[in-house]
Amino acid sequence: MKYLPILLLFLLSCRPPKPQKAFRKDFTTEEQEIIRLSKDIIRNSYFGTFITIDSDGQPRARVMEPFEPTQDFIIWLATNPKSRKVKQIQANPNATLHYFDKKNLGYVSLMGQATLVNDPKIKATKWKKGWENFYPNKNKDYLLIKFVPETLELISIPNKFTGDPTTWKPHSIALRR
């Protein structure tokens, strides 16, 4: 009973993820090119920087090994269920995933919502060779993060997507409606 107020305060402070919007199908030709280039940068970068918000409102970044985006641009990541990012996602699902391709002078930033997935069937389909060292017990030590980006930003110097010359604002598209 003495922990009930603390539990209630925690539950009230947790923000549920926004309802997932549908992936757009009406992209312009330029937006389709931005998506294609973004997927190239993601593939070339391999690692991404996943950013969540801590309880003080401070962004926290860490390098991760995400899966490539699905057709509707959902990106899966894996983590230890005891990691800080799990508590941060539970409290605030807003997240950013950023990729930088040094060789090709480009980057992609994705802003959206993260949710935690512990479904054994889904976890069985999301596994990379070599992860057994990080997750010795797949059932207990391995948790998925489903990242659903709503906005994509791109800079790709060789492809002439250089952003606004005055403000440096990258090319931006809404992925969902």
Lookup result for tokens 């312009």: 28
Environment class of residue 84 by beta-carbon count within 10 Å: exposed (0-12), middle (13-18) or buried (19+)? middle
Residue 125 has pLDDT above 50, yes or no: yes
78: number of Cβ within 10 Å:
21
Assess whether pLDDT exceeds 80 at residue 153: yes
The closest of 9, 22, 144 to 89, measured between CA atoms, is 144
Angstrom CA distances, 176 to 95, 148, 149, stand at 16, 9, 8
Question: pLDDT band at residue 3, thresholds of 50, 70 and 90?
Answer: very low
Of residues 2 and 64, more confidence is placed in: 64
Domain ranges of the chain: 22-174
What proportion of the chain, given as a percentage, has pLDDT over 90?
84
pLDDT tens digits for 127-141?
A: 998 999 999 998 899
Vertex 87: Cα angle to 23 and 124 (nearest 5) = 60
pLDDT tens sequence across 48-78? 999 999 999 999 999 999 999 999 999 999 9
Pick the CATH number of 22-174 from 2.30.110.10, 2.40.50.100, 1.20.1250.20, 2.60.40.1080: 2.30.110.10
Structure tokens at 6: 């603390």
- Among residues 95, 107, 72, 79, the alpha carbon closest in space to that of 177 is found at 72
pTM here? 0.88
pLDDT per residue as tens digits for the range 76-109: 999 999 999 999 999 999 999 999 999 999 999 9
CA distance 55 to 52: 10
